[in-house]
Structure formats: structure tokens, C-alpha cells
Chains A and B, each alone.
Chain A
Amino acid sequence: MEASKYLKDIQDIKEMMSKSTQFISLSGLSGILAGIYALVGAAYVNYLINSHYGRYITLESKTFKLILLTAFIVLVLSLGTAYLLTAKKAKKAGEKIWNPTSRRVLINFLIPLITGGIFALLLLKNKHYGLIAPVTLLFYGLACLNASKYTLRDVRYLGITQIILGLIAVEFSGYGLYFWVIGFGLCHILYGSMMYYKYDRNI
């Protein structure tokens, strides 16, 4: 009788410690959708590049602007979906979406991500095109790894996978688009599905 009360105490302590430091309402479904957006975007970019065949794509060309626009739309759609689905999941679980833990996830995610974004833009400006794909993968991976301390464990493995892909991509600098397809497309779908089956289905 006594022992079971103490056991319950220990369980309460563990639960409070993890609940107060981890944001668990992150939606797995939004990962799957982000991966699909990335695949559609990549297919469109591939089409643009093919129809530009034989000519060098310059920074001023219409094709280049369309590629940038596509990347931007994919990014905005992914973030928007992640926000909406996570808010929905948090509401169902009776958790507020804007609380100290979600703030911590966001801040720790954004610092490496924005650093990487600025770095990629500087590479673009200085014409190191071959490094842009690896750098975006590397910094996105580091952002996931950094944020994973405060959320679901799977985000950590997603981050590590992206970092490894980013490093490999440095060696194959002409194939940036393919690495983006694997990293932002397939990996998101894979890890998103894992998270969806593990956590989302029961709620």
C-alpha cells in the first residue's frame, strides 16, 4: 500500500519533468505533407530546368526567379501546415500551442535555420551555387537536432539524417536537387509517417 503510493509519486515526478520541458503536440501528419509539397516543388523545378535545356540559367533569368519562388512557396506552405495541424493536435490534447515549451522548440529551431538561410543567400550572392543544397540540408538538420531536446525524440533522428545527407551532398555538388528530394521530400514523409503512427493516431 505504502510502496505503491511512493511509486505513484515517482511516476508523477517523471511525468511533470518531461511535460514541463517537452512539447509533444508536434504533428506527424504535417511532416508527411511537407514532404509531399517538397516533391511536387522539386518536380516542377526539374521541369523548369529541362525546358531550359542547353542554355545556362543566369540569376536574372525568368527560370531562376521561378525556381526561387517555388522554393519559397514550398517553405511557406510547409510552415503553415505545420502550424495549423500542430495547433489542432494541441487543442485536442488540451495543451496550449503557445506555451514555454513550444516557444523553446521554436527559438532553438529558428536560430540554426535562420543562420543557414542567411549563409545560403550569401553563397548565392557570391556564386557558390554548388554548396547551396548541402548547406540548406546541413543547417536544417542542425536546427532539428537543436530543437529535438524540447520535443519528440524522432525529430533528433530526422536531424541526424539530414546532416549526413548534407555532408554527402557536398561531394556530389551537381546533384543538389536530388539530395533535396531525398532530404526534404522522402525523409519528411518517412519520419512524418513514423511520428503519425506512433503518436497521432490515438488522439
Chain B
Amino acid sequence: MKNIIQNINKAFDHRIRLGIMSVLMVNENADFSTLKELLGVTDGNLASHAKALESENYITVEKQFIGRKPNTKYIATKEGKKAFQEHIEALEKLISKS
């Protein structure tokens, strides 16, 4: 039992971070406004949770300009995808145990 709980990743233990990772698992990338719309969160909230995932090296941020508008793109790293996969497997095991 202990082993399983160890695989539950604290970095994903929040609805917004979970959402960001879910979207980035199945999309090559997603920009700030798309994520905001999908998750239904405020700018500041999204930015701080994205920052948390970035500091774990689970996602990378690409900033560029489209015309004169700044555009922020998020991409899941290999490491992040692996960690998230393990997190999902741990969740599934926990549910089937109980």
C-alpha cells in the first residue's frame, strides 16, 4: 500500500494542475487563453499553477509575438508526460484497491 501512495504525485494534486497536464498530454501545445477557457480559471490562478509545473520541469513555456500581441504556449516535457502517466496509474490502482 505504501508503494502506491508514493506514486501519487504531489505536483498533480490540484484540480488546475491536473487540468493543465491533461490538456497537454493530448495536444502538442496549448496557449494561455485556450487553457484559461478550458479550465475556467483566472489569469493569475493559471499563471501560478503553470509556474509550479514549469519549476518541476514538467512543462516548458514558449513566449512569442503574433503580430504585436504576446502569445504564451505551453508544452508538456517528456519527463512531465512520464510523471503524469505514473500518476494516473497510481490513481487507478488506489481506486481498484478500495
Contacts and interface: CB of A to CB of B under 8 A. Distances in A.
A10 B26 contact: no
Interface string A7-19: 1011011101101
B27 A21 contact: yes
B94 interface: yes
B66 interface: no
A10 B90 CA distance: 11
Contact of B30 (A3, A20, A96): A20
Given A12-B15, A12-B18, A20 B23 contact: yes
B25 interface: yes
A7 B23 contact: no
A3 B95 contact: yes
Given A19-B38, A21-B26, A10 B95 contact: yes
A6 B27 CA distance: 23
Contacts of A19: 38
A167 B92 CA distance: 45
Contacts of A96: 37
Given A10-B88, A100-B30, A100-B34, A16 B23 contact: yes
Contact of B37 (A6, A9, A99): A99
A20 B27 contact: yes
Interface residues of B, number: 19
Contact of A10 (B34, B39, B92): B92
Contacts of A14: 22
Contacts of B11: none
B91 interface: yes
Contacts of B91: 6, 9-10
Contacts of B3: none
B98 interface: yes
Interface in A91-138: 96, 99-100
B27 A2 contact: no
Interface string B34-53: 10011100000000000000
Interface in B7-38: 15, 18-19, 22-23, 25-27, 30, 34, 37-38
Nearest to A96: B37
A20 B38 contact: yes
A17 B23 CA distance: 5
Interface of B: 15, 18-19, 22-23, 25-27, 30, 34, 37-39, 88, 91-92, 94-95, 98
